[in-house]
Amino acid sequence: MAEKVPMTALSPTMEEGTIISWNKKEGDTVAAGDVLCEVETDKTSVEYESSQEGTLLRIIVGVDGSASVGQTIAIIGEKDEDLSGILSEVEAEGSASAGPVKEEPAPSAPEAPASPAPRESSESGETKNEETKAAPLPPKEDSPGGSRIKASPLAVKLAAERNINLSLVKGTGTGGRIIQRDIEEFRGVPGGAGAVGGTVTGGAGGSAVPADQEIPVTGKRAVIAKRLSESMYTAPHYYLTTSVVMEKVVEARKLLNESASGKVSLNAFFIRFVAEAIKRHPGINATWRGETILQHGSIDIGLAVDAGNGLITPVVRNCGNRGVRDIETDLVDLIEKARTGKLKPEEYSDATFTISNLGSFGVEEFTAIINPPGSAILALGAGKPTPVVRGDGSIGAATVMKMTLSCDHRVIDGAAGGRFLRELQLLMEEPARLLF
């Protein structure tokens, strides 16, 4: 009996996935646990392991095609099975994909749309409700006027093919309906492949002005936008800045790197110091939950990493009792995975505290947006030679780094934030304090 293979939620926040590659081809035998395909989720790329067995009879969503969670991406069953019934069900699901999808000829006789078959719950245990599963509807977002966007079905289809956001298109049809002509004449924002071309020529000189580009907000970018906006709009942020004389940290690192094979990064040291400061001020390591504040036992520190296609924060778990070398081992592995898009959801979710380091770009200081569910984030600037007054009153040059702590005032009051930052500063300036 042929079964539909649904897209499943491969990350906690995934609503849609894009097929990067198919590891099985039509006609291949599939055992439970075999990797069917590789899927790019909102955060990373994940191998889709089959929970079903049989022969891969039909690939519905091809490479570069995307499917929302619950939507059918393939059909598995027995060789030479008649697929007409199941294919018409799949057809009735609608095709959510903007990417290439294998097309089946439409059934010639008019028939009532088959109701989507009940879905089996996916291996990850996470299934989405009917709304997210349904085929994409014509957009319902509000237009500037506040009413629903009206567009002809053809215009909706063309806009999807060309990655055009309908809310940017002015409708010239009856009652402001967006029609084919409006999509074809829309030249504001050509996007990626398949986008409407359009060169706007300039004024007197006649030199060409590069056309605007519209980049679709999908997957990871959408998640970053949503989560950070939520954080910024809901968590009352305040910021505390201090300077750290870095000499002792640099010295300690030098000592370690001389004594052992393999270099340990400064970031591992920062994580170590932050973990220690958190142990001493555990109120920092907490999550606002409305009715309660959850103070976490494990100190899980995320490090913001530029993965090329957007920010991701791999998390080093349980840093409270770990040395820098141990932390570094984790970091090297995680950063490599982050850059190649191989992080698993459990490797980038639920940091209780986050560090963002823009020192390598020469940034002196900055304020960061808190990364939920944490309640604080530490922004590190570049270490810079600076004149300092030493304890004995003498003046000299030292490498000084500025760091800014962003706190959620609902969880961490200013004094608590200040005490934590002071602790951190003292630890970094005098690593021997780790001992007492």
Partner 1 sequence: MPEIQMREAIRQAMDEEMERDENVFLLGEEVGQYNGAYKVSKGLLDKYGERRVKDTPIAELGFTGLAVGAATVGLRPIVEWMTFNFALLALDQVVNNAAKMRHMSGGQMKVPIVFRGANGPAEYLSSQHSQALQSYFVHVPGLKVIAPSTPYDAKGLLKTAIRDDNPVVMMESEMTYGLTGEVPEEEYLIPFGKADIKRKGKDVTLISYSKPVHMVLRAAERLAEMGIEAEVVDLRSLRPLDEETIYASVRKTNRAVIVDESWPMASVGSHVAWLVSRNCFDDLDAPVELVSSEDVPMPYNHTLELAVQPTVEKIVDAVKRVTYKE
Which residues are annotated as catalytic? 409, 413
DSSP state, residue 354: E
Q: In the structure, how many helices (H) and strands (E) does the chain have?
A: 10, 21
Using the rule CB under 8 A, is 180 a contact of partner 1?
A: yes
Of residues 115, 129, 147, 174, which one binds partner 1 by CB under 8 A?
A: 174
CA–CA separation, 128 and 144 (whole Å) = 30
DSSP 184-253: HH--S---STTPPP--EE-STT-PEEPPP------HHHHHHHHHHHHHHHHS-EEEEEEEEE-HHHHHHH
Of residues 181, 254, 289, 390, which one binds partner 1 by CB under 8 A?
A: 181
Using the rule CB under 8 A, is 172 a contact of partner 1?
A: yes
Site map 255..274 versus partner 1, x via CB under 8 A: --------------------
To partner 1, the closest distance from the beta carbon of 74 in angstroms equals 23
What are 291's two structure tokens? 């009715």
To partner 1, the closest distance from the beta carbon of 153 in angstroms equals 5
Between residue 215 and residue 254, which ones bind partner 1 under the rule CB under 8 A? none
Stretch of residues binding partner 1 (CB under 8 A), selected from 105-113, 115-123, 243-251, 367-375: 105-113
Kind plus residue range of the DSSP H or E element containing 172: none
Stretch of residues binding partner 1 (CB under 8 A), selected from 72-80, 168-176, 187-195, 287-295: 168-176
CA–CA separation, 351 and 378 (whole Å) = 13
Q: Counting beta carbons within 10 angstroms of the beta carbon of residue 4, is it exposed (0 to 12), middle (13 to 18) or buried (19 or more)?
A: buried
To partner 1, the closest distance from the beta carbon of 154 in angstroms equals 4
State the amino acid at position 419 in one-letter form: R
To partner 1, the closest distance from the beta carbon of 176 in angstroms equals 11
For 178, residues 6+ apart whose C-beta sits below 8 A from its C-beta are 149, 150, 151, 152, 155, 159, 166, 169, 170, 171
Site map 141..160 versus partner 1, x via CB under 8 A: -----------xxxxxx---
Residue ranges in contact with partner 1 by CB under 8 A: 106, 108-110, 152-157, 172-174, 179-181
